[in-house]
A and B are shown apart, each in its own frame.
Chain A
Amino acid sequence: MSFITRGFTGRGRERDDRLPPGQTLVGDFPVLSAGPTPDIDTADWEFTIRTESGAQHSWNWDQLMALPIEDVTTDIHCVTHWSKLGTGWRGVALDTLFEGVDTDYAYTMAHSYGGYTTNVPLDDLLDGKAWIAFEFDGEPLDPEHGGPARLLVPHLYFWKSAKWVRGLVMMEDDEPGFWEQNGYHLRGDPWKEERYW
């Protein structure tokens, strides 16, 4: 179903191939959050991966900073129709964090400070596709954008890049997190416009 809207001409005629369907380029960095921005001190920060055996792999801030840090330049796409192209981040690849993790489960639930959750398949986190990011545009990540550290999974809609991330719990089956229970798609591929269920 699609029809021409009487009188609408639009402005952004030059389509950029990097822009998924239904997205609009923005210059600023809008904020999408369901609640207040939590105040997290890096001295108290911890990130934990928990597997089906009950094993917990944890890193505090200093331990995270001691891992190989990667520069990432990537496009990001929010479900609310804005995109930014060529954004610059620094972070630690999930490949690095999963090196010593033994799991047969194929799904994860990302948990954030503040209690929010989002589900991400493990395949979407590995092979250079996801990071724990703590710098944006050369500056420490602002709290309102998820600082001190957020998940960065730029090939999926940006709500999957959980702000204020504190851990991943391995799951046998794909289960909806907070955003997905509240109407967002289980996977969220922007090129397929997987916005809502």
Chain B
Amino acid sequence: MSDSPTVPTTATVPRAGWHVATVARTSRETPSAARLELDVDGWPGNAAGQHLDVRLTAEDGYTATRSYSIASSGDGSRVVLAVDELPDGEVSPFLVEAVRAGDMLEVHGPLGAFFVWRPETNGGAARPVQLIAGGSGVVPLFAMAQAHADADDPTPFRLLYAVRTPDDVYFADELAALAAARAPFRLDLVYSRRAPDGWPTPPGRITRGQLEAAAIPAADRPVVFVCGSTGFVEQVASWLIELGHDPRDIRTERFGGT
């Protein structure tokens, strides 16, 4: 099978391990989500786009473990999560509603070495980057955009962010700041349920036309990161291929699968 296309290999990432995380701060991110800032003892740092496992233990020893994307990156031991509360969830309602500053959690990570972006100054490729988020799928993509700005990286970055309403936008202030930063970054929002007053297009599910209009064209050979629900990722990825993007340039992460 020597004719197999070669999947791009990835640079090394810090080694994963179990760590004790102390909650430094929690805040409301959207009506259904919370931001958790963790101080993780012995955290080796993480690349933008990686995730971690959170393990909760009840008094009788029962445990529950879930994976969450990391919204931050770099060498530090401060790790930021943004957790969406699933109505029937076991772990996310606890993290969103019950956890407070000073609580301790067990985390395992950093995890994943493929759904990762790193700046050119840190071994990354100088290729434009198209980020495409559905809902809370923006979390690892925000980490990439922030890493891009922090590195003052000159490669063009665009984020196409599909979200239900203006209230559901994660990292709204940070994204506005990124759009104003020197590193080239453009944010395109698509609202599915309710758009801001005066928004030029009515709310609705993202269309192929909107994707084509807002995404870096295939001719520019962007690396494309797509994160969201399985249905969102499948739809967007198939449109991207129709629009001429090489499947090997499209990296995906799906809820439920992570």
Residues of chain A having any CB pair with chain B under 8 Å: 1-13, 15, 22, 24, 26, 28, 30-38, 48, 50, 78, 80-82, 111, 114-117, 144, 166-167, 169, 178, 181-183, 196-197
Distance of A178 Cα from B111 Cα, bound (Å) = 15
Determine whether the beta carbon of A30 is less than 8 Å from that of B230.
yes
Look across to chain B and name the residue whose beta carbon is closest to the beta carbon of A23.
B65
Which residues of chain A have C-beta atoms less than 8 A from B20's C-beta?
A: 1, 3
Contact partner of A34 (CB less than 8 A), chosen from B62, B63, B115, is B115
User: With an 8 A cutoff between CB atoms, is B218 at the interface?
Assistant: no
Q: Which of B201-258 contact A (CB under 8 A)?
A: 230, 234, 237-238, 240-241, 247-248, 250-252, 254-258
Determine whether the beta carbon of B58 is less than 8 Å from that of A37.
no
Determine whether the beta carbon of B240 is less than 8 Å from that of A36.
yes
Determine whether the beta carbon of A31 is less than 8 Å from that of B256.
yes
Q: How far is the CB of A50 from chain B (nearest CB, A)?
A: 7
Q: How far is the CB of A57 from chain B (nearest CB, A)?
A: 13
Which residues of chain B have C-beta atoms less than 8 A from A7's C-beta?
A: 94, 98-99, 103
Q: How far is the CB of A146 from chain B (nearest CB, A)?
A: 13
Distance of A166 Cα from B2 Cα, bound (Å) = 12
Q: Which of B9-17, B136-144, B145-153 contacts A (4 or more CB under 8 A)?
A: B9-17
Q: In the complex where A13-B62, A32-B254, A48-B1 touch, is A181 in contact with B10 (Cβ < 8 A)? A: yes
Distance of A124 Cα from B82 Cα, bound (Å) = 39
Q: Which of B1-31 contact A (CB under 8 A)?
A: 1, 4-7, 9-10, 13, 16, 18, 20
Distance of A11 Cα from B20 Cα, bound (Å) = 23
User: With an 8 A cutoff between CB atoms, is B59 at the interface?
Assistant: yes
Q: How far is the CB of B26 from chain A (nearest CB, A)?
A: 13
Q: Which of B40-88 contact A (CB under 8 A)?
A: 53, 55-59, 62-67
- Chain A interface helix/strand/loop/mixed: loop
Interface centre among A24, A34, A169 (most CB of B within 10 A): A34
Q: How far is the CB of A21 from chain B (nearest CB, A)?
A: 8
Distance of A109 Cα from B230 Cα, bound (Å) = 27
Determine whether the beta carbon of B10 is less than 8 Å from that of A182.
yes
Which residues of chain B have C-beta atoms less than 8 A from A36's C-beta?
A: 237-238, 240-241, 247, 250, 252
Determine whether the beta carbon of B10 is less than 8 Å from that of A4.
no
Q: In the complex where A5-B103, A37-B238 touch, is A115 in contact with B4 (Cβ < 8 A)? A: yes
User: With an 8 A cutoff between CB atoms, is B128 at the interface?
Assistant: no
- Chain B interface helix/strand/loop/mixed: mixed
Which residues of chain B have C-beta atoms less than 8 A from A35's C-beta?
A: 7, 237, 247-248, 250-252
Look across to chain A and name the residue whose beta carbon is closest to the beta carbon of B62.
A10
Q: In the complex where A22-B63, A80-B257, A183-B13 touch, is A31 in contact with B230 (Cβ < 8 A)? A: yes
User: With an 8 A cutoff between CB atoms, is B113 at the interface?
Assistant: yes
B-side interface residues, number (CB < 8 Å): 53
Distance of A33 Cα from B115 Cα, bound (Å) = 11
Contact partner of B1 (CB less than 8 A), chosen from A6, A13, A50, is A50
Determine whether the beta carbon of A11 is less than 8 Å from that of B115.
no
Distance of A4 Cα from B60 Cα, bound (Å) = 9
Determine whether the beta carbon of B90 is less than 8 Å from that of A24.
yes
Q: Which of B70-128 contact A (CB under 8 A)?
A: 90, 94, 98-99, 103-106, 108, 111-115
Determine whether the beta carbon of B106 is less than 8 Å from that of A3.
yes
Q: How far is the CB of A148 from chain B (nearest CB, A)?
A: 17
Which residues of chain A have C-beta atoms less than 8 A from B240's C-beta?
A: 36
Determine whether the beta carbon of B67 is less than 8 Å from that of A38.
no
Q: In the complex where A1-B106, A36-B237, A80-B258 touch, is A10 in contact with B115 (Cβ < 8 A)? A: no
Q: In the complex where A2-B57, A22-B65, A181-B10 touch, is A10 in contact with B90 (Cβ < 8 A)? A: yes
Contact partner of A144 (CB less than 8 A), chosen from B5, B112, B230, is B230
Look across to chain B and name the residue whose beta carbon is closest to the beta carbon of A7.
B98
Contact partner of A4 (CB less than 8 A), chosen from B58, B113, B115, is B58
